[in-house]
Amino acid sequence: EAQVTQNPRYLITVTGKKLTVTCSQNMNHEYMSWYRQDPGLGLRQIYYSMNVEVTDKGDVPEGYKVSRKEKRNFPLILESPSPNQTSLYFCASSPIQGSYEQYFGPGTRLTVT
Amino acid sequence: QKEVEQNSGPLSVPEGAIASLNCTYSDRGSQSFFWYRQYSGKSPELIMFIYSNGDKEDGRFTAQLNKASQYVSLLIRDSQPSDSATYLCAVNLLPSGSARQLTFGSGTQLTVLP
């Protein structure tokens, strides 16, 4: 089954404790992206990647890191989480060309206390 | 600054009615336009895309695009309670056939009353 998976789905952590949210897709998509979703603000892009070893900042990159060492994986790293990073996070992927759809993962609800 | 504006709602319509959702965008260079549906607690899923001026129909859904006025709308005919969800408008500057680099609106919450 074609899918984007994220882990964990739910996470409660404390300020300053490094964490990683994993994202993996099995569709051989070149493009992957991370979004955060907050009430009233919609989906905002954090980082994206056009292919292996190619990453770039989105609209709200502060406080986040990413890496793309393999085509299928695009982890999101919070080196020192803060309460304002409490949010719902989505990973998405799509081909570079020839598709109108971004495929979203199930989401990760993160709470930083 | 890329901006996509939607009325946050909530928008309530009776079952069987037409629901009309609107979206305006600020960047005249926007090329492709998307409507995603998001059920509560779930991830967004694509329901329509459009890149040419005019109407595009798919079942009960019709997307309408007016680039001169910079708005795109989604009509849902014969609304069903299962259509109750948040509808996200998204645009990008890339030519048709690419789903990358989307800018999303904040979404309109639709409730269809039985």
Show residues of chain A in contact with B98, CB under 8 Å: 94, 96-97, 99-100
From chain A residues 34-63, the ones with a CB under 8 A of any chain B CB are 35, 40-45, 48, 50
Please check the confidence at residue B1 and state whether its pLDDT lies above 60.
Answer: no
Whole-number pLDDT of residue B97: 63
CA dihedral A26, A31, A35, A40 (to 10 degrees): -110
pLDDT higher than threshold 90 for residue B79? yes
pLDDT at B29 over 90: no
Would an 8 Å CB–CB cutoff place A75 in contact with chain B? Answer: no
Q: If interface means Cβ-Cβ distance under 8 Å, which residues of chain B face chain A?
A: 4, 8, 32, 34, 41-46, 49, 88, 90, 96-107
Structure-block tokens of residue B104 = 């999303």
In three-state secondary structure terms, B83 is helix
Pairing relationship of beta strands A19-25 and A76-78 according to DSSP bridges: antiparallel
